[in-house]
Each structure stands twice: as structure tokens, then as C-alpha cells.
Amino acid sequence: MESAAIHSAKHFLLIIGLILGAGSFSGILASKFKVPDVVVFLLVGIGLGPEVLGMIDVKADSAFNQLILIFGSCYILFDGGAGLKLKVLKEVWMTIVVIATIGVVITVTITGFAANQILGIPLITALLFGAVIASTDPATLVPVFKQVRIKDRVAQAVMSESAFNDAMGAIVTFSLLGVIMGTGGEFSLSKAAFDLISNAVIGLIVGCVMGYAASFLIAHEKFSFLLEYAPLVTLMSVAGAYMSAENFHASGFMSVFVFGIVLGNKDVLGFEMEQQEEEKLEDFILTTSLIMRMFIFILLGSQVDFAMMGKYLWSGIVLVAVLMLIARPATVFCSALPDRRAKWSLNEMLFMCWTRETGVIPGALAGILVGMKVPGAEIISSITFITILMTIIIQATTTRWLAGKLGLLVEDV
């Protein structure tokens, strides 16, 4: 008779096989119909989940699911950072800082007040909902911009925002949570600002140190003794950068993103790899990122609870419309217009208004609230999943079309 551990292991092996098989087939479909693969992964996950076929049933709070969410998001974020160029970021850094900080507050305020009016829930709970969905999703945006080639500075600004605004979204969420649960006293703007700055500084330092160390070990002219193990170095460093930052109570996601930027710009530091080794590393990162996308979005789709979402479907749709059509444009224009150095065009700002997919991080925050039995958590969780589904399916699918209309595709530049 099998032990519980063996039975559990076989169950997870079956799930892994199903995800890889379904993900491979989904990737082919996405390529054929020229849509971002994360959209197809999400829909396939819904079909394989308990609500439809019942082939994949992984609880959102299970250790397996949390491992996939954390490491998968980290690796995708690292991949996005590695593709950014410092020369481009120098032009748009002011917009990134403002949109990832003040912009989050604007989004929280607008969606929070809308939720208060539409749902009739207490204002503090409504603002908590706004904070949960305020951050954009690097796990969605990075793959989309890998597949849809957009003008460099626009793509890199949006991807960078998605990395940096997670910290701000989490800070606001847990500050409001402290007020609701009666453990954090009054919301303190100065404390929130200090937390944000310390998150940023520590995350930047850890990411830079890990990035330099990895570059040194795989690309130094004399001391690159781990050159043959460069792919494994990225795996170790991604986990190390995340855990190191988290141990210092900083944003692990920010640290991983900065690590990717440093490693991706190692030539600026004077480190060069042979072309063959560079190509081998890039192929490994590309394949690993694809696998992580499969697992994250198929699992995310399988966890959609239609019964719970159905209770707040129409009010949720209205709130998502407010987020997409009012809060996001207000955030972008208030953040980008004052940046005279970047000189954003109207078309570039309109495109940024439309690209703000919600995904893994808001879903994880909503799950935390449900687990803590926070008042109103069921409503927040339900509408968060409606937001995830709507923004990914609608916005990610139309990214190529809109970029073409606005003249921002690389082929059109």
C-alpha cells in the first residue's frame, strides 16, 4: 500500500505532465493565431480546472502553488530585466519612478472610491481592494513584450513599472490591512514613504551585488570558472537575489529585476562572453521562462471560482472598466506628462494607458486576505479574479493590434 507521500508525489507528477503537455499545445496555438501565449495558457487552465474538466486541482494556498508563483514570477522578471538596456532606461527613469509610486496611489484612490460607491462597502475596505489590484503584472507583461516587439522605450518603461510597482502596491495593501485589522494604527504617509524608499534601496543593492557576482563568475576574462554552468548560475542567483532581499524585508521582485538588468548589461561592466556561450545561456533563459509561464497561468486559470465570481460579476465588470478606462489613463498622464526629458508622444501615452494587465501579484495578495479572513476579503478576491481575467484576455490580446494602429511596432518605427 502506497504511503501518503508517494501518492502525493505521483499526483503532482501527473499535474506537471498535464501542464507541460497542455502548455506545449497551447503555445503552438498561440503562435498560429498570433496572440500572447499567456492568454491561451489562462483559458486552457480554466478548461482543465475543477470548474470544467477537473483534471488539475491545485489549491491556491498549497506549497506547490506558492513555489510556482514565487519562483516563476522571479524568473520571468529576471528575464525581463535582462532584456532592458541602460541607455534606454536613462531616458525614461523619471516616468518609471513616478508611475510606480505616485501612480499607484492614484490608481488606489480612483478604484477605491469607485468600489465604495458601486459595491456599497466601507471606504477602507474599498481602498484595500484598490491597493490589491493597483500593481501591474510582470509575469504577463514581460512575455507579451517578448512576443510583440514594441518601440524600446515604451516596452521597457511598462516592464520596469511592473517590476517596481509591486513593492508600492504591497506597502499600501499591508498598511491599509493593519488599519482594518486594528494592528497597524492609523495609516502613516511618512512610514509608507520610508518603507518604499528602504524597499527600493535594499532591493537595488542586493540586485546589483548578485548581478555583478554572476557576471564576474561567468564572463570575467580570467576568473569565469563557472562559464560552463552559466544557466545554473542564473537559477541560483534568481533564488538568491529574491531570498536575500526578502530576508532584509525588502522587495524580492525588485531585487530579481535589478539582477537581470545588471546581468543583461554586463558588457557595460567590461564582461564579455563568447558568442556560443551567450547563445546557450539565452536559449536556456528563453526555455525556462516559457515553462514558468505555462505553470503560472495554467494553474492560475485552474483556480478560477465561477460561483464566487458570479456573485459580483456585473459590479466587477464596471469596476474593471473604471480601472482600465479612468484610473489607468489618469495614472499615465499624471506620471508621464511632467517628464519633459522623456518627451512622451500622445500615441506612446495612449499605448501605456492600455497596457496594465493584472495577474500573479494581485492574485497572491487577494489569496492572503482570504486566508487571514479579512472583512470583505471574499468580495476583493472575487473581483480581483474578474480583473485578472478581463485585463489579460482583453488587453494582452489586443496589444499587437493597438501598437500597430499607434505606429509603435518595431517594424513600423
Q: Return per-residue pLDDT of the chain as tens, 413 residues.
A: 667 778 788 888 888 999 999 999 988 888 887 777 888 888 898 899 888 888 888 887 788 888 887 888 788 878 878 877 777 777 888 888 899 888 999 999 999 999 999 988 889 889 999 998 888 877 677 777 877 888 888 888 888 888 778 767 877 887 787 777 765 555 566 776 677 678 778 888 999 999 999 888 888 777 778 878 888 888 999 999 999 988 987 778 788 888 988 988 888 888 887 778 788 888 888 888 889 888 988 888 888 778 877 888 899 999 999 999 999 999 999 999 988 888 899 999 999 999 888 877 787 777 777 767 788 888 888 898 889 888 888 888 898 899 899 998 876 44
Q: pTM score, two decimals?
A: 0.80
Tell me which CATH code domain 4-412 carries.
1.20.1530.20
- Contact partners, residue 118, CB within 8 Å, separation at least 6: 315, 318, 319
Do 200 and 253 touch, CB atoms closer than 8 A? no
Distance CA 97, CA 162 (A): 11
Residue 111, classified by CB atoms within 10 Å of its CB into exposed (0-12), middle (13-18) or buried (19+), is buried
Q: What are phi and psi of 264, to 5 degrees?
A: -70, -20
